[in-house]
Amino acid sequence: MAAKIIDGKAISAKMKEEMKREIAELRGIGIFPGLAVVLVGENPASVVYVRNKGKACHELGVHSEEHRLLANSSEEDLLRLIERLNKDDKINGILVQLPLPRHIDERKILEAISPDKDVDGFHPYNIGKLMIGEPAFAPCTPYGVIKMLEHSNIDITGKNAVIVGRSNIVGKPMAMLLLQKNATVTICHSKTNDLPAVCRGADILIAAIGKPRFVTADMVKDGAVVIDVGINRLPDGKLVGDVDYDAVAQKAGYITPVPGGVGPMTITMLLYNTIQSARRAAGKVKAVEV
């Protein structure tokens, strides 16, 4: 039987409608969420991401600022800008677009962002909070995956969740979020023994490896929920995920397409985190619940 498609665009649109209502309510009590996006250099993919983030803010009525620094700006220039944004009351979320030029220490920059404005969820403080199950900003992509499962009424409790990929941005926080939702979690990577067998044990399989069509139908249990976080450009220009979609869709119970699956959720969750941050700054909520 063909899998049900989890439509990230539709879920994202639904969440944005709810968020618009929330923003209108916040405006009524004098709270105006604001996001600052910092781009160093002109990496073409980053330029597009940053532009899309600005557009999404505009669409929802979130104040947005784009701060561009030249590629040869020093680490100190960037740290000074972050310090200024940390102190700026109009700004509730700060996102420094990655990757940074090689002469800038990424960890040092991410640690300079106030944990209270770290809507990317990349600061070690927020990563630590996530690890111990305390309210924190969760990284946008894995948080978006949780929202997709919830909106599709997929029960996570007690399920075997297998994540292929151990990155700090997706794999590891994905594991923590699924664990918090009571899944039994396995993280696989390039050194995992008999990866296909481990994947076949998954009720929920998350592909986040960055290799086109890496997850094939023989690695998927009948009826499994397959979430594809990958976005890969093939030499012919086609965009594909980490899952061999056509074959896996014949076997899975649920599947996310690429494009139109996890991708649209990431920016939505960034705005979601920014709104929660504004609410917290105004004392409307004590902390950000995941």
Piece in contact with ligand GUN (CB under 6 A), picked from 14-22, 90-98, 124-132, 143-151: 90-98
**Interface with ligand GUN (CB under 6 A), residue from 64, 73, 97, 126:** 97
Establish if 7 lies at the interface with ligand GUN (CB under 6 A): no
- Contact between 96 and ligand GUN (CB under 6 A)? yes
222 is catalytic: no
Residue 265 engages ligand GUN in binding (rule: CB under 6 A): no
How far is it, in rounded angstroms, from Cα 218 to Cα 248? Answer: 8
Of all residues in the shown chain, the one whose CB is closest to ligand GUN is 98
Based on the shown chain and the rule CB under 6 A, indicate whether residue 140 belongs to the binding site for ligand GUN. yes
**Which of these ranges, 94-102, 111-119, 186-194, 228-236, lies near ligand GUN under the rule CB under 6 A?**
94-102
Of the pair 117, 159, the CB lying nearest ligand GUN is at 117
- Which long-range CB contacts under 8 A does 14-20 form with residues at least 24 apart? 14/151, 15/147, 15/151, 15/268, 15/272, 16/59, 16/60, 16/268, 16/271, 19/60, 19/268, 19/271, 19/272, 19/275, 20/60, 20/61
Sequence-distant (6+) residues with CB within 8 A of 81 are 38, 67, 69
Which residue is catalytic, options 120, 228, 242, 244?
120
Has 97 been annotated as catalytic?
Answer: yes
Q: Which tokens belong to 241? A: 């995920």
Interface residue with ligand GUN, options 7, 118, 120, 203 (CB under 6 A): 120
Q: Contact between 98 and ligand GUN (CB under 6 A)?
A: yes
The residues assigned a catalytic role are 53, 97, 120
